């Protein structure tokens, strides 16, 4: 019958969500979480709480509840052949109940921080007094309506009528506490979800930003080698292509997904850099089903896989190597991506998928982590050796296509 604004929700779950995202974080990626600290999560929690319903809900339920009580009591009296003047009794008791429960509401808001058991014990005297006040109004109006004939004949009769409305006041307090606890629980749930979403985004950004320094180190080292070899033209082209790739990488949010066509365009920017390094030693074959081009994939998903393939299959062989990049629509509406090479293979591939030693294989491990965070159990990553030699990585994702562009 009544409601009230909920108190600020507990934020312990927010702290736990943030700390969970930081487990296993390397020193080189801690800066990725700078904007997702406790203060950022607190802001998300506050936004969730501030969006709570206004106090108008209380007044709506208060007016509707006591109006309904008046109508029910009046109709019941008419059914029992009461005179038309009987309306004064339910109206007076409804108005008395309306005013008295406003006092109970104020007291409940003051005592709300107490534990539930102490809150109930503290409210019992107030409930008895409130019931007695409504009973006094009822007795006074009843005597005015039907005279001394309706006056209680004994002290026990007075006491019985004073507490006739105890069940009504108890019901009001029960509804108030129940609705308020429901609202508070809902806000705590919303706050926990907001904190979990912030931690979720922080983890994705950490995984994404952990890749960029890895790639940047390799590329700058290659540029340095070209400069030392006085191959200035190649070094200049590589700097320009690195600038284009980094601009694309920074302009795209790692939380958002892009179409496979956009992902391949970004991948070509990266491959242009590697082609400057390896020239004819790097051979690339694409096998992309046109029906997959508008499928949505995480931004820069394939780049770390290509980087690992180049590092272990192309760079280690004098004659270089061949990379195969494929995409098709598989069974059960799954998008199947494939990256393969014809290198010497990787006996420690399982260890590399878990991060390897000294960060070796961080690209493969981060790719698996990103997909697990984004898709949960709906994704699948498989890897293994090829015959007669080489490594193949297969990724299966739920097939989701971008909406058609508006003309």
Segment 380-396, tens digit of pLDDT? 998 888 888 888 999 99
Considering the domain architecture, whether residues 152 and 266 belong to the same structural domain is answered as no
Last residue of a domain, one of 193, 217, 252: 193
Residue 278, domain member (yes or no) = yes
Phi, psi (rounded to 5 degrees) for 285: -125, 130
Considering the domain architecture, whether residues 57 and 157 belong to the same structural domain is answered as yes
Considering the domain architecture, whether residues 185 and 272 belong to the same structural domain is answered as no
Considering the domain architecture, whether residues 166 and 56 belong to the same structural domain is answered as yes
Q: What is the pLDDT of residue 326?
A: 96
Q: What is the pLDDT of residue 352?
A: 54
Q: In the chain, pLDDT over 90 holds for what percent of residues? A: 22
Is the distance from CB of 321 to CB of 314 less than 8 angstroms?
Answer: yes
Q: What is the pLDDT of residue 64?
A: 92
Tokens matching residue 65 = 């509840």
Considering the domain architecture, whether residues 36 and 150 belong to the same structural domain is answered as yes
Considering the domain architecture, whether residues 374 and 277 belong to the same structural domain is answered as yes
The 10s digit of each residue's pLDDT in 72-115 is: 988 888 888 777 778 888 898 899 999 999 999 999 999 988 88
Considering the domain architecture, whether residues 61 and 113 belong to the same structural domain is answered as yes
- Shortest CA distance to 255 belongs to which of 206, 193, 204? 204
Last residue of a domain, one of 193, 222, 242: 193
Q: What is the pLDDT of residue 288?
A: 95
Residue 45, domain member (yes or no) = yes
Q: Which residue has the higher pLDDT, 58 or 367?
A: 58
Is the distance from CB of 25 to CB of 33 less than 8 angstroms?
Answer: yes
| Average per-residue pLDDT for the chain | 77
Q: What is the pLDDT of residue 29?
A: 43
Considering the domain architecture, whether residues 278 and 142 belong to the same structural domain is answered as no
Q: How confident is the model at residue 215 (pLDDT cuts 50, 70, 90)?
A: low
Q: Which residue has the higher pLDDT, 350 or 363?
A: 363
Cβ-in-10-Å burial (0-12, 13-18, 19+) of 132 comes to middle
Q: Virtual CA dihedral for 27, 32, 34, 40, nearest 10 degrees?
A: -140
Q: How confident is the model at residue 348 (pLDDT cuts 50, 70, 90)?
A: low
Residue 213, domain member (yes or no) = no
Tokens matching residue 290 = 């046109």
C-alpha distances out from residue 184 to 6, 57, 101, 363, Å: 5, 14, 21, 43
Q: Which residues, including other chains, have CB under 8 Å from residue 365's CB and lie 6 or more apart? A: 352, 353, 354, 355, 356
Q: Virtual CA dihedral for 272, 248, 325, 285, nearest 10 degrees?
A: -30
Considering the domain architecture, whether residues 249 and 101 belong to the same structural domain is answered as no
The CATH number linked to 323 is: 3.30.565.10
Q: Which residue has the higher pLDDT, 20 or 124?
A: 124
Q: Which residue has the higher pLDDT, 27 or 59?
A: 59
Q: What is the pLDDT of residue 283?
A: 93
Phi, psi (rounded to 5 degrees) for 30: -65, -30
Q: What is the Cα–Cα distance from 110 to 173, expressed in whole angstroms? A: 14
Give CA 131 to chain center in angstroms: 45
Q: What is the pLDDT of residue 102?
A: 93
User: Strand 321-329 to strand 282-288: parallel, antiparallel, or no bridges (unpaired)?
Assistant: parallel
Residue 283, helix vs strand vs coil: strand
Q: How many residues does the chain have?
A: 407
Do you find a cis peptide bond into 388, omega within 30 degrees of 0?
yes
Is the distance from CB of 368 to CB of 207 less than 8 angstroms?
Answer: no
Residue 209, domain member (yes or no) = no
pTM of this prediction? 0.51
For residue 17, pLDDT beyond 70: no
Residue 322, helix vs strand vs coil: strand
Domain that holds residue 376: 231-398
Candidate from 31-45, 48-62, 92-106, 247-261 with smallest mean pLDDT: 31-45
Last residue of a domain, one of 145, 169, 193: 193
Name the DSSP class of 8: P
Number of domains in the chain: 2
For residue 350, pLDDT beyond 60: no
Considering the domain architecture, whether residues 182 and 268 belong to the same structural domain is answered as no
Considering the domain architecture, whether residues 173 and 235 belong to the same structural domain is answered as no
For residue 294, pLDDT beyond 90: yes
């Amino acid at each position: 019958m009544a409601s009230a604004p909920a108190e600020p929700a507990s934020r312990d779950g927010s702290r736990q969500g943030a700390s969970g995202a930081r487990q296993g974080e390397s020193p080189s990626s801690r800066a990725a979480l700078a904007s997702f600290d406790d203060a950022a999560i607190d802001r998300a929690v506050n936004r969730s709480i501030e969006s709570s319903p206004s106090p108008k809900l209380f007044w709506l339920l208060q007016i509707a509840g006591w109006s309904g009580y008046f109508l029910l009591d009046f109709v019941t009296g008419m059914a029992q052949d009461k005179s038309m003047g009987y309306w004064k009794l339910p109206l007076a008791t409804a108005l008395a109940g309306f005013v008295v429960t406003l006092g109970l509401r104020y007291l409940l808001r003051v005592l709300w921080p107490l534990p539930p058991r102490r809150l109930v014990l503290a409210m019992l005297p107030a409930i008895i007094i409130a019931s007695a006040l409504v009973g006094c109004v009822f007795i006074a109006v009843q005597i005015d309506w039907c005279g001394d004939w309706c006056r209680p004949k004994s002290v026990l009769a007075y006491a019985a009528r004073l507490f006739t409305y105890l069940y009504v006041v108890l019901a009001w307090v029960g509804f108030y506490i129940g609705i308020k606890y429901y609202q508070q629980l809902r806000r705590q749930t919303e706050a926990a979800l907001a904190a979990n979403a912030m931690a979720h985004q922080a983890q994705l950004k950490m995984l994404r930003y952990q890749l960029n320094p890895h790639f940047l180190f390799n590329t700058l080292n290659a540029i340095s080698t070209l400069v030392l070899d006085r191959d200035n033209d190649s070094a200049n082209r590589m700097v320009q292509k690195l600038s284009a790739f980094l601009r694309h990488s920074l302009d795209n949010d790692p939380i958002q997904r892009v179409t496979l066509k956009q992902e391949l365009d970004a991948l070509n920017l990266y491959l242009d850099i590697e082609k400057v390094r390896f020239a004819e030693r790097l051979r690339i074959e694409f096998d992309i089903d046109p029906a997959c081009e508008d499928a949505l994939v995480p931004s820069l998903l394939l780049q770390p896989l290509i980087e690992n393939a180049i590092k272990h299959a192309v760079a280690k062989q004098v004659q270089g190597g061949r990379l195969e990049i494929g995409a098709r629509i598989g069974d059960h509406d799954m998008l199947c991506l494939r990256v393969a090479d014809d290198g010497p293979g990787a006996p420690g591939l399982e260890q590399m998928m878990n991060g390897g030693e000294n960060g070796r294989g961080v690209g493969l491990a981060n790719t698996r982590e990103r997909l697990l965070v984004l898709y949960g159990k709906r994704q699948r990553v498989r890897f293994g050796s090829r015959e007669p030699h080489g490594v193949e990585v297969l990724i299966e994702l739920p097939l989701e296509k971008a909406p058609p562009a508006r003309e």
